[in-house]
Structure 1
């Protein structure tokens, strides 16, 4: 739990909305094998051995071919989306990734709204680590890890990733905690109150009835950067106290920001 009495440091990150960016099912390839048979008694063993070896070779070749085809499609998709953002060829760190424009096009092709929570959930599931960027390995390996090896797979699977996370508080907290490091400015120790507010609205609009009041409080009264400890514990407050202040105990180790918020709410009652 958080420690009370510490002040949050300011973040230099610019104001932005967190509408993450502005605005063949997994193909199973079956290998057909043909087994040779020979009625000749002396050749049965030899023929069966040959047929088995032929079948194994055919299966292995088919499996390898299918794997290559799947890999090739993901590489082609990566190259397509990565090419949509202007890169600096003189910087090794500014070449190998899909940027904002590519991600917007990816969302359009998959059929998800980049301004909704599902966009962040997709990025969480594939292991993206930096806001507005998906690196080569994150894209190819991340989607493959989630059984997506083609655009068709993505279309059929990605939209289904939200419900298992939002319906389970433990899984949702893992996603929520990931959002902090993903959403803050790279290298920053804290998240700006503007970014935190926008991200909270996106993540918790269906989990906390007072989310808009909370975000107004953060933007207009608190006006300081949000530390990770405060961010992480706020989801515990939402899940354990939420709208029912009778479940709030000031003796619990809530961060100061939450205690001040509850004091404000109690005064309004």
Structure 2
């Protein structure tokens, strides 16, 4: 899922930005800033030391020309491109969570300063490493990294060979399930349009496909059911939360699904449809 696609799913009052690949001449004129100096270490074992001034310079490189207080959607897409970070998965959402962003696809100067200082990040490779580590831990459910050797006087589980300060990573790795829940609930709040109590079903499916499906493959089947049904319009916070609980507690074959439990109608419909196909009987699923 690309960041630009997700932005199209979420209601916005701002004008639609120009596409980055429309006309190279007009794009070059609009983006009058000098090309970003991508900091890539030839030897990953020798990461660039953190520098607040370097972090500030990096921010200035990507800040919106019309509003220096924010890195907007187009600038964030360019930053990700320069850093070699994919926009087609959960990494943009993890960046927002790490930096405490309050708007989708935007990072304010204050959020950047706090986020980079906490992680001691002042280069694109370090940012890429931090996001990739977190994606592997939370989204792909991979075993956590092992803390580096520390001296008795050290107060942090980090090493001079680390590309960034991994102290926060190891705190999250202590209880990945709790960390993932916090991230998952954050994504709902981040994605919900202002003045709305729900998010649109298209947005929810796009998000589920990148943050739930890698951990719980049956989510892809649920999304296919939703698309085939075509009658579900919105996702409440309760449905959002219960979708995760469903994935964590119900087996893919649905044998342990309790129809008497207080599951949302969408999930009842999904199970009913799946079981009716197995039994060869017509489904009685009703749309919400």
TM over 0.5: yes
What's the TM-score once normalised by structure 2's chain length?
0.63
Q: Secondary structure at the match of 2:234?
A: coil
Higher normalized helix content (fraction of residues): 1
Are 1:170 and 2:178 counterparts? yes
Are 1:246 and 2:255 counterparts? yes
CA shift, 1:208, in A, is 2.8
State the partner residue of 2:49: 27
Are 1:72 and 2:81 counterparts? no
State the partner residue of 2:80: 107
CA shift, 1:152, in A, is 4.5
CA shift, 1:102, in A, is 1.1
Distance 1:132 1:22, change over 3 A: farther
CA shift, 1:146, in A, is 2.0
CA shift, 1:138, in A, is 1.0
State the partner residue of 2:210: 202
Deviations 1:104-161 (A, max 9, x none): 1211222210112222222211211211211111111112212313334324433222
C-alpha RMSD over aligned residues: 2.7
Q: Secondary structure at the match of 1:247?
A: coil
Structure 2 unmatched runs, 5+: 1-6, 11-18, 22-45, 142-175, 279-288
Alignment length (residue pairs):
204
State the partner residue of 1:219: 227
CA shift, 1:169, in A, is 3.0
CA–CA separation in structure 1 for the residues paired with 2:241 and 2:250: 15
State the partner residue of 1:259: 268
Structure 1 unmatched runs, 5+: 1-12, 29-69, 88-93
What's the TM-score once normalised by structure 1's chain length?
0.67
CA shift, 1:229, in A, is 0.8
Greater Cα radius of gyration, structure 1 or 2: 1
Q: Which of 231, 234, 237 is the aligned partner of 2:246?
A: 237
